[in-house]
Amino acid sequence: MHVGFNMEGISYFAKLCRNNMAYDSYTLAIALKACADACLLRTGKEIHAQTLKKGVDTTSFVANTITTMYNKCGKA
């Protein structure tokens, strides 16, 4: 995937958060994947914190995406 598309996706996710709009575990997983593909560790950590707040960090596909994000960003 191109970095531009990843950045666009992360930008949309940030807008959701700023506007207090609802999002689910699928949205979080997609945002984490975009961070992984663009190697945006800091942003990925912030989104990881959101998964913890929502209690979806142990959902299998979210947990796998979190692990992938840290691995791709070199922080396994």
Number of other residues whose CB lies within 10 A of the CB of residue 17: 13
Q: What is the pLDDT of residues 42-65, one digit of tens each?
A: 999 999 999 999 999 999 999 999
Core vs surface per residue 20-50: b (16+ CB within 10 A) or e: eeeeebebbbbbbbbbbbbebbebbeebbeb
What is the rounded average pLDDT for all residues in the chain? 92
Q: How many domains would you assign to the chain?
A: 1
* Containing structural domain, residue 40: 3-72
Does 2 have pLDDT greater than 70?
A: no
Q: Are 13 and 23 in contact (CB under 8 A)?
A: yes
Q: Are 27 and 16 in contact (CB under 8 A)?
A: yes
From the CA atom positions of the chain, what is the Rg in Å?
11
Whole-prediction pTM: 0.89
